[in-house]
Amino acid sequence: MKAFARLMSWLFIPLFMPVFGLLIAMYYPAENESALRSTTSLYFMPPQFKLHILSLFTILSVIAPGFSLLMLKRQKRIESVEMDIKEERNFPIGITVVYCAMLGAFVWFQIPRGLVPEVIFSLPWAGVLASAIAGLINRYEKISLHAMGAGMLFGFIVAYYNTQVIFDVDLIIGIAILGGLIMSARMYLGKHTLRQSIMGYLLGFFTVFLMLTYFPSPNLLF
């Protein structure tokens, strides 16, 4: 059981969750009222667009922050990349905010609006907001970042498929169950309490769901 909990912890590191969400939405069949338009469906985007977007998110939301964590560990600023000690988390979380903002700015200014679905533009800023709030909470209590990542994945799936007319409900149920398994694994390993896990999950879910639902909007742009 302990080996399974550790496997879950490493497979579903928070940094991976945005890429997991995009992979599911891009390659799991779903249709909306304009299914054949790549501007409204991640699934029907041209393959080269999918590869480009996935590469950007992988570099700036996984590889770059992960490399920074390894450097911090090498410099002995953190004991482990899991950041088990609350006081060690502030700087790495800040780095994550910066990388998410870089990704958001790059996508916003380099990809023409209307070329890809709006969720591509808002997802990085959801990461900025969730990480920033997690950093503030971490000053007072050790919030579960794994649970936050699981909540962000579920929030993304719910918000995105809410725009689709035809989709597999079992997928959403499966993602919800996955979130429960991730939180259970972290609690079983003694990394977090139930309160810390629920707090992280709700933060991740509502931040992504609300950001993808209401941002960007004309009222925020003008």
Q: What percent of the chain has pLDDT over 90?
A: 58
pLDDT at 218: 37
Quickly tell me which residue has 């090498």 as its tokens: 74
| 109-141 pLDDT, tens digit each | 888 877 788 899 999 999 999 999 999 999 899
Query: Whole-angstrom Cα distance, residue 16 to residue 147?
Result: 13
Which string of DSSP letters, residue by residue, matches 124-179?
HHHHHHHHHHHHHHHTTS---HHHHHHHHHHHHHHHHHTT-SB--HHHHHHHHHHH
What tokens were used for 133? Answer: 């709030």
Contact indicator for 204, 149 with CB cutoff of 8 Å = yes
Query: Whole-angstrom Cα distance, residue 87 to residue 138?
Result: 8
Chain mean pLDDT for the chain: 87
pLDDT at 217: 46
Q: Which of the residue ranges 22-31, 75-84, 153-162, 175-184 would you say has the lowest mean pLDDT?
A: 75-84
Tally of residues, the chain:
222
pLDDT at 75 over 90: no
Contact indicator for 60, 127 with CB cutoff of 8 Å = no
pLDDT at 81 over 90: no
pLDDT at 221 over 50: no
Sequence-distant (6+) residues with CB within 8 A of 141 are: 86, 196, 199
Quickly tell me which residue has 């309490």 as its tokens: 193
| 168-220 pLDDT, tens digit each | 889 999 999 999 999 999 999 998 999 999 999 999 999 999 999 887 543 34
pLDDT at 38: 53
What tokens were used for 61? Answer: 């939301």
| 21-73 pLDDT, tens digit each | 999 999 998 776 555 555 678 888 889 989 999 999 999 999 999 999 888 88
pLDDT band at 222 (very low <50, low <70, confident <90, very high): very low
Higher pLDDT, 76 or 142: 142
Could you tell me the residue ranges of all domains in the chain? 2-28+38-215
